[in-house]
Structure 1
Amino acid sequence: MDTDRPVPATTAAAVLARLEAAATDADLAALRRRLGPDEPAFGLRMGTLFAIARTAAGLSLPEVERLLAHPTFEGRMAGFCVLDEQARRALRADRRGDRALREVYLAHHDAITTWDMVDRAAPRVVGATLLGGPHDLLDDLARSPDPLRRRTAVTAPLWFTRAGTADDLAAGFALAARLHADPEPRVHLPVGIFLAHAGKVAPDELTRFLERYGAAMPRAALRQATRLRRTA
Protein backbone atom coordinates (compact mmCIF):
# COMPACT_ATOMS: atom_id res chain seq x y z
CA MET A 1 0.00 0.00 0.00
CA ASP A 2 1.30 3.48 -0.92
CA THR A 3 1.11 5.39 2.36
CA ASP A 4 2.34 8.59 0.68
CA ARG A 5 -0.68 8.87 -1.60
CA PRO A 6 -3.06 11.61 -0.37
CA VAL A 7 -6.45 10.41 0.83
CA PRO A 8 -9.07 11.57 -1.69
CA ALA A 9 -11.42 14.32 -0.55
CA THR A 10 -15.00 13.34 -1.30
CA THR A 11 -16.89 16.43 -0.13
CA ALA A 12 -16.53 20.18 -0.44
CA ALA A 13 -16.40 20.37 3.35
CA ALA A 14 -13.35 18.09 3.40
CA VAL A 15 -11.60 20.24 0.81
CA LEU A 16 -12.33 23.41 2.74
CA ALA A 17 -11.04 21.86 5.95
CA ARG A 18 -7.76 20.96 4.22
CA LEU A 19 -7.44 24.44 2.80
CA GLU A 20 -8.03 26.08 6.16
CA ALA A 21 -5.60 23.73 7.91
CA ALA A 22 -2.84 24.58 5.41
CA ALA A 23 -3.25 28.37 5.71
CA THR A 24 -0.61 30.63 7.25
CA ASP A 25 -0.63 34.27 8.25
CA ALA A 26 2.40 34.97 6.03
CA ASP A 27 0.70 33.50 2.96
CA LEU A 28 -2.47 35.43 3.73
CA ALA A 29 -0.51 38.70 3.87
CA ALA A 30 1.05 37.94 0.48
CA LEU A 31 -2.30 36.95 -1.04
CA ARG A 32 -4.00 40.10 0.25
CA ARG A 33 -1.89 42.19 -2.13
CA ARG A 34 -3.79 40.87 -5.13
CA LEU A 35 -7.30 40.32 -3.77
CA GLY A 36 -10.09 42.77 -3.27
CA PRO A 37 -9.95 44.42 0.16
CA ASP A 38 -13.11 42.69 1.36
CA GLU A 39 -12.60 39.28 -0.28
CA PRO A 40 -12.42 36.51 2.34
CA ALA A 41 -9.36 34.24 2.13
CA PHE A 42 -7.57 31.58 4.17
CA GLY A 43 -4.01 32.32 3.01
CA LEU A 44 -2.35 29.53 1.00
CA ARG A 45 0.43 29.26 -1.56
CA MET A 46 -0.94 28.33 -4.96
CA GLY A 47 1.11 25.14 -5.13
CA THR A 48 -0.45 23.95 -1.89
CA LEU A 49 -3.93 24.84 -3.10
CA PHE A 50 -3.39 22.98 -6.39
CA ALA A 51 -2.17 19.88 -4.53
CA ILE A 52 -5.25 19.88 -2.29
CA ALA A 53 -7.53 20.35 -5.30
CA ARG A 54 -5.97 17.32 -7.00
CA THR A 55 -7.09 15.17 -4.06
CA ALA A 56 -10.65 16.25 -4.85
CA ALA A 57 -10.68 15.37 -8.56
CA GLY A 58 -13.43 12.81 -7.95
CA LEU A 59 -15.92 15.24 -6.40
CA SER A 60 -19.48 15.12 -7.69
CA LEU A 61 -20.58 18.24 -9.55
CA PRO A 62 -22.94 19.32 -6.73
CA GLU A 63 -19.95 19.23 -4.37
CA VAL A 64 -17.86 21.21 -6.85
CA GLU A 65 -20.63 23.78 -6.98
CA ARG A 66 -20.47 24.09 -3.20
CA LEU A 67 -16.82 25.06 -3.56
CA LEU A 68 -17.64 27.56 -6.30
CA ALA A 69 -20.24 29.16 -4.05
CA HIS A 70 -17.87 29.50 -1.09
CA PRO A 71 -16.99 33.03 0.00
CA THR A 72 -13.23 32.43 0.25
CA PHE A 73 -10.91 32.93 -2.70
CA GLU A 74 -9.28 29.54 -2.08
CA GLY A 75 -12.57 27.68 -1.89
CA ARG A 76 -13.66 29.00 -5.27
CA MET A 77 -10.21 28.62 -6.81
CA ALA A 78 -10.16 25.00 -5.65
CA GLY A 79 -13.52 24.49 -7.37
CA PHE A 80 -12.17 25.76 -10.67
CA CYS A 81 -9.07 23.60 -10.24
CA VAL A 82 -11.28 20.55 -9.73
CA LEU A 83 -13.21 21.38 -12.91
CA ASP A 84 -9.87 21.54 -14.74
CA GLU A 85 -8.76 18.19 -13.29
CA GLN A 86 -12.04 16.60 -14.33
CA ALA A 87 -11.77 18.12 -17.80
CA ARG A 88 -8.29 16.61 -18.19
CA ARG A 89 -9.75 13.20 -17.40
CA ALA A 90 -12.66 13.71 -19.79
CA LEU A 91 -10.31 14.66 -22.61
CA ARG A 92 -8.57 11.31 -22.37
CA ALA A 93 -11.86 9.72 -23.46
CA ASP A 94 -13.30 12.39 -25.77
CA ARG A 95 -11.32 15.13 -27.49
CA ARG A 96 -14.35 17.46 -27.29
CA GLY A 97 -14.37 17.41 -23.51
CA ASP A 98 -17.34 17.43 -21.14
CA ARG A 99 -20.10 19.97 -21.67
CA ALA A 100 -21.51 19.41 -18.19
CA LEU A 101 -18.27 20.81 -16.74
CA ARG A 102 -18.53 23.79 -19.06
CA GLU A 103 -22.06 24.53 -17.93
CA VAL A 104 -20.98 24.51 -14.28
CA TYR A 105 -18.13 26.91 -15.11
CA LEU A 106 -20.46 29.30 -16.93
CA ALA A 107 -23.19 29.08 -14.30
CA HIS A 108 -20.67 30.18 -11.67
CA HIS A 109 -18.81 32.78 -13.71
CA ASP A 110 -19.84 35.46 -11.23
CA ALA A 111 -17.72 33.59 -8.66
CA ILE A 112 -14.60 34.40 -10.69
CA THR A 113 -12.85 37.35 -9.09
CA THR A 114 -9.24 36.90 -10.29
CA TRP A 115 -7.59 36.28 -13.65
CA ASP A 116 -6.02 32.99 -12.52
CA MET A 117 -9.41 31.37 -11.94
CA VAL A 118 -10.06 31.89 -15.66
CA ASP A 119 -6.63 30.76 -16.77
CA ARG A 120 -6.73 27.61 -14.70
CA ALA A 121 -9.96 26.27 -16.17
CA ALA A 122 -11.08 28.01 -19.36
CA PRO A 123 -8.93 26.23 -21.99
CA ARG A 124 -9.92 22.64 -21.10
CA VAL A 125 -13.28 23.22 -19.43
CA VAL A 126 -14.64 25.64 -22.07
CA GLY A 127 -12.33 25.67 -25.07
CA ALA A 128 -12.10 21.90 -25.54
CA THR A 129 -15.89 21.60 -25.77
CA LEU A 130 -15.97 24.03 -28.70
CA LEU A 131 -13.63 22.20 -31.06
CA GLY A 132 -15.17 22.15 -34.51
CA GLY A 133 -17.62 24.92 -33.57
CA PRO A 134 -19.95 26.57 -33.26
CA HIS A 135 -18.06 29.29 -31.43
CA ASP A 136 -20.99 31.61 -30.69
CA LEU A 137 -20.54 31.16 -26.94
CA LEU A 138 -17.14 32.86 -27.14
CA ASP A 139 -18.56 35.72 -29.20
CA ASP A 140 -21.21 36.26 -26.52
CA LEU A 141 -18.58 36.29 -23.77
CA ALA A 142 -16.42 38.70 -25.77
CA ARG A 143 -19.32 41.20 -25.84
CA SER A 144 -19.73 41.14 -22.06
CA PRO A 145 -19.09 44.29 -20.00
CA ASP A 146 -17.37 42.03 -17.46
CA PRO A 147 -13.61 41.90 -18.21
CA LEU A 148 -13.26 38.44 -16.71
CA ARG A 149 -15.90 37.08 -19.10
CA ARG A 150 -13.98 38.71 -21.94
CA ARG A 151 -10.86 37.04 -20.57
CA THR A 152 -12.64 33.66 -20.75
CA ALA A 153 -13.57 34.44 -24.36
CA VAL A 154 -9.94 34.79 -25.43
CA THR A 155 -8.37 32.29 -22.99
CA ALA A 156 -10.60 29.33 -23.86
CA PRO A 157 -9.25 29.33 -27.47
CA LEU A 158 -5.78 28.50 -26.17
CA TRP A 159 -7.01 24.93 -26.53
CA PHE A 160 -7.54 25.56 -30.23
CA THR A 161 -3.81 26.22 -30.61
CA ARG A 162 -3.16 22.77 -29.22
CA ALA A 163 -5.89 20.57 -30.69
CA GLY A 164 -8.10 22.68 -32.97
CA THR A 165 -8.83 22.73 -36.68
CA ALA A 166 -7.98 25.59 -39.00
CA ASP A 167 -11.53 26.88 -38.48
CA ASP A 168 -11.12 26.78 -34.72
CA LEU A 169 -7.88 28.72 -34.97
CA ALA A 170 -9.54 31.25 -37.29
CA ALA A 171 -12.26 31.74 -34.66
CA GLY A 172 -9.56 32.40 -32.07
CA PHE A 173 -7.92 35.01 -34.29
CA ALA A 174 -11.34 36.62 -34.85
CA LEU A 175 -11.87 36.90 -31.08
CA ALA A 176 -8.39 38.39 -30.69
CA ALA A 177 -9.26 40.92 -33.40
CA ARG A 178 -12.46 41.87 -31.56
CA LEU A 179 -10.54 42.41 -28.31
CA HIS A 180 -7.13 43.52 -29.60
CA ALA A 181 -7.49 47.12 -28.34
CA ASP A 182 -9.37 46.35 -25.13
CA PRO A 183 -8.07 48.82 -22.53
CA GLU A 184 -8.43 46.35 -19.65
CA PRO A 185 -5.12 44.53 -18.88
CA ARG A 186 -7.03 41.42 -17.78
CA VAL A 187 -8.27 41.21 -21.37
CA HIS A 188 -5.53 42.55 -23.63
CA LEU A 189 -2.77 40.54 -21.95
CA PRO A 190 -4.48 37.19 -22.68
CA VAL A 191 -5.10 38.42 -26.24
CA GLY A 192 -1.31 38.66 -26.55
CA ILE A 193 -0.86 35.25 -24.94
CA PHE A 194 -3.31 33.65 -27.37
CA LEU A 195 -1.55 35.26 -30.32
CA ALA A 196 1.86 34.06 -29.14
CA HIS A 197 0.68 30.46 -29.01
CA ALA A 198 -1.37 30.71 -32.20
CA GLY A 199 1.69 32.07 -33.96
CA LYS A 200 3.59 28.86 -33.21
CA VAL A 201 1.15 26.86 -35.36
CA ALA A 202 0.08 29.61 -37.80
CA PRO A 203 3.00 32.05 -38.11
CA ASP A 204 1.75 33.62 -41.35
CA GLU A 205 -1.65 34.32 -39.78
CA LEU A 206 0.06 35.98 -36.83
CA THR A 207 2.13 38.16 -39.16
CA ARG A 208 -1.00 39.29 -41.02
CA PHE A 209 -2.80 39.94 -37.73
CA LEU A 210 0.00 42.11 -36.39
CA GLU A 211 0.30 44.02 -39.65
CA ARG A 212 -3.38 44.89 -39.41
CA TYR A 213 -3.88 45.37 -35.66
CA GLY A 214 -0.47 45.62 -34.05
CA ALA A 215 -0.29 49.42 -34.04
CA ALA A 216 -3.56 49.66 -32.10
CA MET A 217 -2.69 46.99 -29.52
CA PRO A 218 -1.58 48.04 -26.02
CA ARG A 219 2.20 47.69 -25.82
CA ALA A 220 2.04 44.98 -23.15
CA ALA A 221 -0.26 42.88 -25.36
CA LEU A 222 2.02 43.34 -28.35
CA ARG A 223 5.03 42.23 -26.30
CA GLN A 224 3.13 39.11 -25.26
CA ALA A 225 2.11 38.39 -28.86
CA THR A 226 5.71 38.43 -30.09
CA ARG A 227 7.52 36.92 -27.10
CA LEU A 228 7.73 33.39 -28.51
CA ARG A 229 9.18 34.77 -31.73
CA ARG A 230 11.98 36.34 -29.72
CA THR A 231 12.78 33.10 -27.92
CA ALA A 232 12.53 30.80 -30.96
Structure 2
Amino acid sequence: MNKAGDVLKELEYLKNSEKIKVFKKFFKTNEGEYGYGDMFWGISVPQVREISKRYFHDISFDEIKVLINHRIHEVRLTGYLILTYQYEKSENEKRKDIFDFYLNNLSGCNNWDLVDLSCYKIVGEYVLRNKEERKILYKLSKSKNLWEQRISIVSTYPMIKRKEFEDTLNISKLLLFHKHDLIHKAVGWMLREVGKQDMNVLRKFLNENINTIPRTTLRYSIEKMNKSERKGYLLK
Protein backbone atom coordinates (compact mmCIF):
# COMPACT_ATOMS: atom_id res chain seq x y z
CA MET A 1 0.00 0.00 0.00
CA ASN A 2 2.95 2.35 -0.54
CA LYS A 3 1.21 4.62 -3.04
CA ALA A 4 -1.85 5.09 -0.84
CA GLY A 5 0.44 5.84 2.07
CA ASP A 6 2.36 8.41 0.05
CA VAL A 7 -0.88 10.09 -1.00
CA LEU A 8 -2.05 10.22 2.61
CA LYS A 9 1.20 11.80 3.76
CA GLU A 10 1.01 14.51 1.10
CA LEU A 11 -2.61 15.29 1.89
CA GLU A 12 -2.08 15.38 5.63
CA TYR A 13 0.80 17.81 5.15
CA LEU A 14 -1.70 20.24 3.58
CA LYS A 15 -4.07 20.28 6.57
CA ASN A 16 -5.54 23.71 7.20
CA SER A 17 -7.28 24.14 10.55
CA GLU A 18 -9.04 27.36 9.55
CA LYS A 19 -10.52 25.83 6.40
CA ILE A 20 -11.64 22.76 8.33
CA LYS A 21 -14.14 24.94 10.17
CA VAL A 22 -15.40 26.44 6.92
CA PHE A 23 -15.72 23.06 5.19
CA LYS A 24 -17.65 21.52 8.08
CA LYS A 25 -20.21 24.29 7.83
CA PHE A 26 -20.31 24.35 4.03
CA PHE A 27 -20.83 20.60 3.70
CA LYS A 28 -23.57 20.48 6.37
CA THR A 29 -21.96 18.21 8.96
CA ASN A 30 -24.19 18.99 11.95
CA GLU A 31 -26.51 16.36 13.35
CA GLY A 32 -29.54 15.94 11.11
CA GLU A 33 -27.80 17.43 8.07
CA TYR A 34 -26.82 15.47 4.97
CA GLY A 35 -23.07 15.53 5.73
CA TYR A 36 -23.41 14.63 9.41
CA GLY A 37 -20.20 13.24 10.86
CA ASP A 38 -17.97 13.89 7.85
CA MET A 39 -14.40 14.92 8.65
CA PHE A 40 -12.07 17.26 6.77
CA TRP A 41 -8.46 18.35 6.49
CA GLY A 42 -9.32 21.70 4.88
CA ILE A 43 -7.66 20.98 1.53
CA SER A 44 -8.79 22.81 -1.61
CA VAL A 45 -9.98 20.98 -4.74
CA PRO A 46 -7.06 22.33 -6.85
CA GLN A 47 -4.63 20.89 -4.27
CA VAL A 48 -6.43 17.55 -4.35
CA ARG A 49 -6.38 17.54 -8.15
CA GLU A 50 -2.64 18.25 -8.24
CA ILE A 51 -1.90 15.24 -6.06
CA SER A 52 -4.38 13.02 -7.91
CA LYS A 53 -2.76 13.81 -11.26
CA ARG A 54 0.66 12.81 -9.98
CA TYR A 55 -0.43 9.44 -8.62
CA PHE A 56 -3.10 8.09 -10.98
CA HIS A 57 -0.69 6.45 -13.43
CA ASP A 58 0.42 3.51 -11.32
CA ILE A 59 -1.83 3.15 -8.28
CA SER A 60 -3.82 -0.07 -7.94
CA PHE A 61 -7.53 -0.57 -7.24
CA ASP A 62 -6.63 -1.98 -3.82
CA GLU A 63 -4.76 1.20 -2.94
CA ILE A 64 -7.52 3.40 -4.35
CA LYS A 65 -9.96 1.51 -2.14
CA VAL A 66 -7.93 2.58 0.89
CA LEU A 67 -8.41 6.20 -0.17
CA ILE A 68 -12.12 6.10 -1.01
CA ASN A 69 -12.94 4.32 2.24
CA HIS A 70 -10.99 6.81 4.35
CA ARG A 71 -12.74 8.83 7.06
CA ILE A 72 -11.38 12.13 5.70
CA HIS A 73 -13.44 13.75 2.95
CA GLU A 74 -10.53 15.06 0.87
CA VAL A 75 -8.82 11.67 0.92
CA ARG A 76 -11.94 10.08 -0.52
CA LEU A 77 -12.13 12.83 -3.14
CA THR A 78 -8.53 12.11 -4.11
CA GLY A 79 -9.38 8.44 -4.65
CA TYR A 80 -12.38 9.22 -6.83
CA LEU A 81 -10.49 11.84 -8.85
CA ILE A 82 -7.69 9.33 -9.43
CA LEU A 83 -10.31 7.01 -10.94
CA THR A 84 -11.53 9.76 -13.28
CA TYR A 85 -7.99 10.38 -14.53
CA GLN A 86 -7.38 6.67 -14.96
CA TYR A 87 -10.62 6.35 -16.93
CA GLU A 88 -9.75 9.26 -19.21
CA LYS A 89 -6.36 7.77 -20.12
CA SER A 90 -7.45 4.11 -20.43
CA GLU A 91 -8.53 1.90 -23.31
CA ASN A 92 -11.99 0.31 -23.50
CA GLU A 93 -11.31 -2.89 -21.55
CA LYS A 94 -9.72 -1.02 -18.65
CA ARG A 95 -12.55 1.51 -18.73
CA LYS A 96 -15.03 -1.28 -18.11
CA ASP A 97 -13.00 -2.34 -15.07
CA ILE A 98 -12.96 1.23 -13.72
CA PHE A 99 -16.71 1.61 -14.35
CA ASP A 100 -17.42 -1.61 -12.43
CA PHE A 101 -15.01 -0.73 -9.62
CA TYR A 102 -16.57 2.71 -9.21
CA LEU A 103 -20.11 1.33 -9.00
CA ASN A 104 -19.04 -1.34 -6.53
CA ASN A 105 -17.37 1.22 -4.26
CA LEU A 106 -19.85 4.04 -3.84
CA SER A 107 -20.07 4.00 -0.05
CA GLY A 108 -17.41 6.71 0.21
CA CYS A 109 -19.09 8.86 -2.43
CA ASN A 110 -21.31 10.47 0.17
CA ASN A 111 -21.50 14.18 -0.53
CA TRP A 112 -22.49 16.23 -3.53
CA ASP A 113 -18.96 17.29 -4.52
CA LEU A 114 -17.70 13.71 -4.47
CA VAL A 115 -20.61 12.75 -6.73
CA ASP A 116 -20.43 15.71 -9.09
CA LEU A 117 -16.67 15.61 -9.64
CA SER A 118 -16.56 11.92 -10.49
CA CYS A 119 -19.77 10.24 -11.64
CA TYR A 120 -20.33 11.75 -15.07
CA LYS A 121 -16.66 11.31 -15.96
CA ILE A 122 -16.86 7.57 -15.32
CA VAL A 123 -20.45 6.32 -15.29
CA GLY A 124 -21.70 8.99 -17.69
CA GLU A 125 -18.91 8.58 -20.21
CA TYR A 126 -19.17 4.79 -20.10
CA VAL A 127 -22.94 4.55 -20.63
CA LEU A 128 -22.72 7.19 -23.37
CA ARG A 129 -20.69 4.72 -25.42
CA ASN A 130 -22.30 1.54 -24.08
CA LYS A 131 -26.05 2.07 -24.32
CA GLU A 132 -26.87 -1.37 -22.97
CA GLU A 133 -25.44 -0.25 -19.62
CA ARG A 134 -27.78 2.74 -19.24
CA LYS A 135 -30.16 0.62 -17.21
CA ILE A 136 -27.83 1.17 -14.25
CA LEU A 137 -28.92 4.82 -14.20
CA TYR A 138 -32.53 3.80 -13.64
CA LYS A 139 -31.51 1.35 -10.94
CA LEU A 140 -29.57 4.08 -9.16
CA SER A 141 -32.48 6.52 -9.50
CA LYS A 142 -34.66 4.09 -7.53
CA SER A 143 -32.06 3.55 -4.81
CA LYS A 144 -32.86 4.56 -1.25
CA ASN A 145 -29.45 6.23 -1.09
CA LEU A 146 -29.51 9.98 -1.76
CA TRP A 147 -26.05 10.02 -3.35
CA GLU A 148 -26.77 7.11 -5.69
CA GLN A 149 -29.89 8.94 -6.82
CA ARG A 150 -27.84 12.08 -7.48
CA ILE A 151 -25.35 9.96 -9.45
CA SER A 152 -28.21 8.72 -11.65
CA ILE A 153 -29.11 12.17 -12.93
CA VAL A 154 -25.69 13.89 -12.97
CA SER A 155 -24.26 10.96 -14.94
CA THR A 156 -26.50 11.90 -17.88
CA TYR A 157 -24.42 15.03 -18.50
CA PRO A 158 -22.22 13.54 -21.27
CA MET A 159 -25.36 12.42 -23.12
CA ILE A 160 -26.82 15.91 -22.90
CA LYS A 161 -23.68 17.33 -24.51
CA ARG A 162 -24.25 14.89 -27.39
CA LYS A 163 -27.88 16.03 -27.64
CA GLU A 164 -29.18 12.71 -26.33
CA PHE A 165 -31.87 13.86 -23.92
CA GLU A 166 -34.12 10.83 -23.42
CA ASP A 167 -32.45 9.40 -20.32
CA THR A 168 -32.06 12.80 -18.67
CA LEU A 169 -35.76 13.55 -19.14
CA ASN A 170 -36.86 10.09 -18.02
CA ILE A 171 -34.76 10.14 -14.87
CA SER A 172 -35.73 13.73 -14.13
CA LYS A 173 -39.37 12.66 -14.21
CA LEU A 174 -38.65 9.75 -11.86
CA LEU A 175 -37.03 12.13 -9.38
CA LEU A 176 -39.58 14.96 -9.49
CA PHE A 177 -41.26 13.71 -6.32
CA HIS A 178 -38.04 13.38 -4.35
CA LYS A 179 -38.07 15.18 -1.00
CA HIS A 180 -34.45 16.37 -0.84
CA ASP A 181 -33.33 19.70 -2.27
CA LEU A 182 -29.99 18.20 -3.35
CA ILE A 183 -31.95 16.11 -5.84
CA HIS A 184 -34.14 19.06 -6.83
CA LYS A 185 -30.98 21.07 -7.56
CA ALA A 186 -29.29 18.25 -9.50
CA VAL A 187 -32.36 17.68 -11.67
CA GLY A 188 -32.69 21.42 -12.29
CA TRP A 189 -29.01 21.63 -13.20
CA MET A 190 -29.28 18.84 -15.79
CA LEU A 191 -32.50 20.28 -17.21
CA ARG A 192 -30.74 23.63 -17.57
CA GLU A 193 -27.99 21.84 -19.51
CA VAL A 194 -30.66 20.34 -21.76
CA GLY A 195 -31.97 23.85 -22.37
CA LYS A 196 -28.50 25.05 -23.37
CA GLN A 197 -28.55 22.45 -26.14
CA ASP A 198 -32.22 22.73 -27.12
CA MET A 199 -34.48 25.19 -25.32
CA ASN A 200 -37.59 23.76 -26.97
CA VAL A 201 -36.94 20.34 -25.42
CA LEU A 202 -36.70 21.98 -22.00
CA ARG A 203 -39.86 24.01 -22.57
CA LYS A 204 -41.80 20.90 -23.56
CA PHE A 205 -40.67 19.04 -20.44
CA LEU A 206 -41.54 21.95 -18.16
CA ASN A 207 -44.93 22.48 -19.77
CA GLU A 208 -45.80 18.79 -19.39
CA ASN A 209 -44.68 18.62 -15.75
CA ILE A 210 -45.30 22.13 -14.45
CA ASN A 211 -47.79 20.97 -11.81
CA THR A 212 -45.37 18.53 -10.17
CA ILE A 213 -41.93 20.07 -10.65
CA PRO A 214 -40.37 21.35 -7.39
CA ARG A 215 -39.79 25.10 -7.28
CA THR A 216 -36.04 24.69 -6.76
CA THR A 217 -35.82 22.43 -9.82
CA LEU A 218 -37.83 24.93 -11.84
CA ARG A 219 -35.67 27.88 -10.80
CA TYR A 220 -32.45 26.05 -11.65
CA SER A 221 -33.78 24.82 -14.99
CA ILE A 222 -34.92 28.21 -16.32
CA GLU A 223 -31.82 30.23 -15.43
CA LYS A 224 -30.77 30.63 -19.08
CA MET A 225 -34.18 31.84 -20.26
CA ASN A 226 -34.88 35.53 -20.67
CA LYS A 227 -36.40 37.42 -17.76
CA SER A 228 -39.97 37.50 -19.06
CA GLU A 229 -40.01 33.78 -19.85
CA ARG A 230 -38.58 32.93 -16.43
CA LYS A 231 -41.27 35.04 -14.82
CA GLY A 232 -43.92 33.29 -16.87
CA TYR A 233 -42.86 29.86 -15.64
CA LEU A 234 -42.60 30.98 -12.03
CA LEU A 235 -46.16 32.31 -12.16
CA LYS A 236 -47.64 29.09 -13.53
TM bracket (short chain)? 0.7 to 0.9
AA in 1 matched with 2:121: R
Aligned residues of 2:24 and 2:39 also touching (Cα < 8 A): no
How many angstroms apart in 1 are the aligned matches of 2:40 and 2:53?
A: 20
Q: CA offset at residue 37 of structure 1?
A: 4.8
- Counterparts of 1:146-185 in structure 2 under 5 Å? 146-163=145-162, 166=164, 169-185=165-181
Secondary structure at 1:38 match in 2: coil
Aligned Cα RMSD in Å?
2.1
1:213 aligned residue: 209
AA in 1 matched with 2:105: H
1:5 aligned residue: none
Secondary structure at 1:113 match in 2: coil
1:4 aligned residue: none
Q: Does 1:224 align with 2:187?
A: no
- Counterparts of 1:23-38 in structure 2 under 5 Å? 23-33=15-25, 34=27, 35=29, 36-38=35-37
- Counterparts of 1:1-232 in structure 2 under 5 Å? 11-33=3-25, 34=27, 35=29, 36-58=35-57, 59-90=59-90, 98-131=95-128, 132-134=130-132, 135-163=134-162, 166=164, 169-230=165-226
How many angstroms apart in 2 are the aligned matches of 1:85 and 1:158?
A: 18
AA in 2 matched with 1:144: S
How many angstroms apart in 2 are the aligned matches of 1:52 and 1:74?
A: 11
Aligned residues of 2:69 and 2:107 also touching (Cα < 8 A): no
How many angstroms apart in 2 are the aligned matches of 1:228 and 1:180?
A: 20
TM-score by length of 2: 0.84
Aligned residue pairs: how many? 216
AA in 2 matched with 1:82: I
2:230 aligned residue: none
Secondary structure at 2:120 match in 1: helix
Aligned residues of 2:187 and 2:217 also touching (Cα < 8 A): yes
* Structure 1: gaps (5+ residues): 1-9
- Percent sequence identity over matched residues? 20
Out of 106-115 and 116-125, give the one that drifted further: 106-115
How many angstroms apart in 2 are the aligned matches of 1:19 and 1:108?
A: 21
How many angstroms apart in 2 are the aligned matches of 1:51 and 1:186?
A: 28
Secondary structure at 2:143 match in 1: coil
* Structure 2: gaps (5+ residues): 30-34, 228-236
TM-score by length of 1: 0.85
Aligned residues of 1:148 and 1:186 also touching (Cα < 8 A): no
Q: CA offset at residue 197 of structure 1?
A: 0.8
How many angstroms apart in 2 are the aligned matches of 1:188 and 1:72?
A: 27
Secondary structure at 2:107 match in 1: helix
How many angstroms apart in 2 are the aligned matches of 1:230 and 1:163?
A: 24
How many angstroms apart in 2 are the aligned matches of 1:171 and 1:141?
A: 13
AA in 1 matched with 2:193: H
Q: CA offset at residue 57 of structure 1?
A: 2.1
How many angstroms apart in 1 are the aligned matches of 2:110 and 2:192?
A: 25
